[in-house]
Structure 1
């Protein structure tokens, strides 16, 4: 069977393959189906060209992945494909499947939603379309029967992630992905699913609430495949909690060293799981950057969002990164419904004091079907119904701050943090921190000059 899988375009994308579609496409290819992935994040096709390309592949099923930021685009694409069976997947269609079943199609054409991870259920849907099983046998499926919305039996989560095939990167248009990490050719990998924590701003129902991880040997097998087959030398690990299983982390690092893999990598971690020994081992195995979800300096806020960390643990983690020579990034969040301006100012000051290498100050966006969404509503605050989730603007205000004031505080945070970063660099010119800052500025200058010379070159040729 011919299948098309589509990644809709969004705002602020990163230049990496959509691995969710990669896993689905790989299991379908292994099962003997012909798979075509169209990544509109990098290909930027017009709708007319997209339809032509889909027609050329003549698929019996088109799969479209959807996050909250790509929802409108995903639904728009589906509306243009009235002659094709469409199945939606991804976190947003899992969160609100009924919203994705409204498209109008020609007779005999169906719309489906597959909830959660779909390596097994997608193959069942293909078997249904091949008339091998009944529709009722397809698990995790949401569809319409007349005007009634039907949700099929739930599929158990995949406990052993090693049983899932490693993503076949040949199904992507790899030359179009040109990401670099510390000047090395880079790609992305996922080594775990689920989350053992319950942060109130996260949607937990896509990969389930049970933390599962691939074995160290399985992870290294994928790295070696990408290293030897495609010449990747840097890896962005997409896991929400790469470092939670300390023994697996140690095993992965030791295998990288044992196999003499000269790679660089980046991961996400909690601030309260790493010590100096682990950080030094990670650094030795090629870890260049760790991102941490710090969110706030307020113990009250950390408690109310179920973060289960303390401000002093965040300060210690940033200090250890500077000591070991690993770039640290802190994800900070402002604009919680109970926050005062003083609490926000304290969080900004805290980020400047603990001084990660980089900090991102996000304005809280309460996503539907999350605890923080319910908390905000229950406190009596109205969330904009037509909020554009492709933007990072505030979507509610309280008696303590207006939307405009939150935006002003966000800008102030960035300006104040950059000033603190510059002061530290001047005071510690021979530190790892200063080295990374200098290299960052050098790279930015290089790319600006390169762009300028390219523009001048094009103008000269145009005149000639």
Structure 2
């Protein structure tokens, strides 16, 4: 058994896309693993290929008041099969030479962990691992994250990763580290997720983690301090979602809704504010307000009582029916500045094609509560799904008008076909691309399930209306 602590490098990969912007986007899973390993005595390094504040960045990157801002952008060749789209494709993030220099300047790692987010950013992950292997060809690379979980076979076949894992990584750490380094990680108090279809190929002979508990409060706060600069902090108060929407993979990635205590979440917010001066926080939850009386309200009350001057944002959308007058008042007093509602459509009929999660009166009541609490129109946006398989754009246009009439901002959410979702098979059948060939064809910028040029023009008009 190896007793010397290994050195593990964590890498957040480049993005390859037609457009990208830092909308409070951080690799929370990877940074949580980094914090766990650091807490267990392992040496951890971190390189963020999306770093807006890289030391070699010659110009100060723009930072909006809420912490968001643009990534460095470099045009690259269009993926095969998209050469005739007339679009421009880019690498977002630091220069490859900077990445190479960063890799060469750190002490040689024993394992390299690479995360992944959007499935259609697959080629960015591929390029990142190729760059890693050029500097450290003999060091094992472990790939995890959303793309790795949803497109496991594609990732295993098309990247140079030595191991591709599915699902949350914290309960797989012990096996991975022991397999590649021989180091015995003390895995006590790591949460047990009990998720089927989570596998580590080739390590079945390694003993699993003992003394596991199902308590997210036992996890350390993510290692945001490994960044060159912290301009906002992502916060996740829960994992999972009680809904199983046809277009969403949340219930596949996290089959159970698990919660952190309000006390634990408050301590995290307090930590980043007082230790690092962070004022902007983005909630990553899929179900922030669900069962709010036992969770969110207690957290908001603690924030209000603390009198910390903070700004909160909800990019992942709030469940509309949970926005009561009390919820709206507490959010306003706590310092919420960006409210996004998961509306999807204003077709509230019971016989509509897709799930009905909110009734018409609930939608208008929620808006009334938010405005009565003090929120302005520019702070409230409602996500409307656009580009679904077989979708009638008349319904989208009608929804846009209803939302505008309600006095808030319609935000078109372009549909991305995602494997392991109920809608995936319809998308595969109706798409103008072969979605099974490569994840890049699922990119919502391409509107893969909109086959009419007339409809594409109409979507453009709706976006700009």
Equivalent residue for 1:396, pick from 434, 438, 449? 449
Match of 2:359 in 1: 310
Partner residue of 2:460 out of 407, 411, 423: 411
2:64 is aligned with 1:13: no
Which digits, 9 at most, give the CA deviation of each residue in 1:261-320, with x for residues without a partner? 222212331110111122112212222232111111223699543242223322322232
| CA distance in 2 between partners of 1:155 and 1:97 (Å) | 23
Partner of residue 319 from structure 1, selected from 363, 368, 375: 368
Question: SS of the residue aligned with 1:41?
Answer: coil
| Equivalent residue for 1:51, pick from 100, 104, 116 | 100
Q: CA deviation at 1:75?
A: 1.4
Match for residue 276 of structure 2? Answer: 230
Which residue of structure 2 lines up, in the alignment, with residue 422 of structure 1? none
- Normalised TM-score (structure 1): 0.76
Q: Is the 8 A contact 2:289 2:319 kept in 1?
A: yes
Alpha carbons of structure 1 residues 17 and 343: separation in structure 2 relative to 1, 3 Å: closer
Aligned-residue Cα RMSD (Å) equals 3.0
Q: 1:252 aligns to what? A: 299
1:35 corresponding residue in structure 2: 44
Query: What is the deviation of 1:332?
Result: 0.9
Distance 1:142 1:60 in 2: 18
SS of corresponding position for 1:282? helix
> Distance between the aligned counterparts of 1:245 and 1:300, measured in 2?
26
Q: Do the aligned partners of 2:116 and 2:144 also contact (CA within 8 Å) in 1? A: yes
Contact conserved, 1:161 with 1:214, CA < 8 A, in 2? yes
Whether 2:168 is the aligned partner of 1:113: answer no
Q: 1:367 aligns with which of 377, 398, 418?
A: 418
Deviation at 1:63, TM superposition (A): 1.1
1:310 and 1:392 map into 2 onto residues whose CA distance is 30
Q: Does 1:188 align with 2:237?
A: no
2:347 alignment partner in structure 1: 298
Structure 2 SS opposite 1:306 = coil
Aligned 8 A contact 1:188 1:238 in 2? yes
- Alpha-carbon spacing, 1:240–1:204, altered in 2? closer, same or farther (3 Å): closer
- In the TM superposition, what is the alpha-carbon distance from 1:16 to its structure 2 partner? 4.9
Partner Cα distance (1:302, 1:393) in 2: 29
SS at match of 1:72: helix
Unaligned runs of 5+ residues in structure 1 are: 179-185, 417-464
Match of 2:8 in 1: 3
Give the structure with the larger helix fraction.
Answer: 1
Matched, 1:90 2:178: no
The answer to whether the 8 Å contact 1:274/1:317 transfers is yes
Taking structure 2 as the reference length, the TM-score comes to 0.76
Structure with the greater relative contact order (CA < 8 A, sep ≥ 6): 1 or 2? 2
**How much does 1:144 deviate?**
6.6
CA offsets 1:218-274 (integer angstroms, 9 cap, x no match): 011001111110111221111122111212111111111222222221233111011
Q: Which runs of 5+ in 2 are unaligned?
A: 1-5, 55-92, 186-196
- Judge conservation of contact 2:414–2:444 (CA < 8 Å) in 1: no
Number of aligned residue pairs: 389
Tell me how far apart the structure 1 counterparts of residues 164 and 238 of structure 2 sit (CA, whole Å): 23
> Alpha carbons of 1:310 and 1:409: their partners in 2 closer, same or farther (altered >3 Å)?
farther
Name the CA distance, whole Å, in 2 between partners of 1:319 and 1:414.
Answer: 25
Equivalents in 1 of 2:244, 2:335: separation in Å?
30
Counterpart residue number, 2:261: 215
Whole-angstrom distance in 1 between the partners of 2:450 and 2:460: 17
**Contact map agreement 1:193 1:239 (CA 8 A) in 2:** yes
Query: Which of 241, 246, 250 is equivalent to 1:200?
Result: 246
